[in-house]
Amino acid sequence: MRKEDLILINILINIWEKKILIILTSLMFVIITYALLNITKKPVQYNISTNIKPLSFKKENKFTVFNEFIKMSMTNDIFNNFVLNTNKKNFEITNELLYKMFIDNLENKKNIIDDIKNLNIIDKNKYEDLSSFNFAVQELANSISIYNPDKKNSTNNNKMQIRVKYHDFAKWENLLNSLQKEINNKVREVLIDQFEAYTDNLVKLNQYLVNDLEQQISFYETKFRSIKRNNLTYLYGHAQVAREMDIKNITKDINLIVENFDPGIDDVKLMLDYKNPRYYLMGYEFIERRIDLIEKSLESNKLISNDAVILENNRKLLLNREIIETINDLFNKSPLTNPKEFSAAYFDIKNSNISIIKDRFSDNKILLFAFILGTLFSVLFVLVSKNLSNYLKYFVKELKNKQRKIN
């Protein structure tokens, strides 16, 4: 038998003789490793994705009457001028607007951080100081992402998701419920502020338009009165001439006033052509009746100018606040004035997608590795200790032989 074979057999014999020691050592490695795993073990992590849903058709319909009235009111000059003068869109509450406002608030990490702290999602007592706690809160907030899973249609922003890697779904559910409530409330408050600003601007612009119309009316009244007074001057002169010439009624020689006079067409022009030098031929009775009518209209402050009448009608329409009052009434009947009823969007928590994050090295793999390592260590220890024992025996034997020779 070869020497190498003898060495191998000897090694195997040594290992077999110490098999109990090897097994116990390997088990000891496994037990220690298992204990360390339990001490340092982290909770099972999950990938959690939750859809962010827009309003249902039924809830969206609660704003329909308000929105339709706003659109209809665009035919009114008040609203047209409002848009032109302020360069703003009319106030409409659409599903797209509500969803966008919800997402914008959700993407603000401060809202998430505040809720993590308020709900004790992270136990503050586990941290030595406030700085470490705040870092852990910030780390969790940063791990929460809002994204669009529909990569093929990235423009569809009504199908967003919120996701996180976390170990406690119950706490995650509490966090989402709290965020949903607070963000919806913030959206509601912003919309109320925007509506109040909108109606305030509407009222201010309305008053501005009324004042502008009143100035225009005053201008036309002044201008019209000036024309009437000038007309009276002419009429007084024509009436005096007609009396001096004893022309009581309209003269038969009407063609002396207007060439090619056509009764029924030119008679109206003639009746108002006070500057015509031969107007006295209309007769002093007719002229004095005209004077009396004009004087009475001036005394009664009665508007005669067509331009002034149109402007006054517009002014009365603007003074009628029925449109603004109706808008306020419809707004007050909308869900925006009821925090319990209003919602801009919501988390579909019940249908959340949850999957376990698998560790690269499972506990079983680590324990198997510990067992192998313990076996290798114990085998090596047995072989080294055996060789060392044989060497010591040989050394002692040689030492005794030398002493005998000396003696």
Q: How far is CA 404 from CA 9, 392, 394, 400, in A?
A: 35, 19, 16, 6
Question: pLDDT tens digits for 81-95?
Answer: 545 555 456 688 889
Residue 190: predicted pLDDT: 94
Low-confidence ranges of the chain (pLDDT < 50): 82, 87, 155, 254-269, 391
Amino acid at 204: K
Distance, CA of 7 to CA of 18 (rounded, Å): 17
**Residue-wise over 328-351: b if at least 16 C-beta within 10 A, else e?**
eebbeebbbeeeeebbbbbbeeee
Rg, Å, the chain Cα set: 50
Report CA 146 to chain centroid distance, whole Å.
Answer: 14
Q: Give pLDDT tens digits for 156-211.
A: 567 889 988 888 888 999 999 999 999 999 999 999 998 888 888 777 777 777 77
Residues in the chain: 407
The reported pTM is: 0.61
**Mean pLDDT of the residues in the chain:** 76
**Degrees to nearest 5, angle at CA 110 with 109 and 112:** 65
* Cα separation, 33 vs 49, whole angstroms: 34
pLDDT the model gives residue 207: 76
- Write the burial class of residue 242 (CB in 10 Å: 0-12 exposed, 13-18 middle, 19+ buried): buried
Query: 58 in helix, strand or coil?
Result: helix
**Contact, 107 vs 146, CB < 8 A?**
yes
Give the helix, strand, coil percentages of the chain, each rounded to 5. Answer: 70, 5, 25
Q: What is the rounded distance in angstroms from the CA atom of residue 324 to the CA atom of residue 73? A: 10
Question: Measured between alpha carbons, how far is 242 from 246 in angstroms, rounded to an integer?
Answer: 6
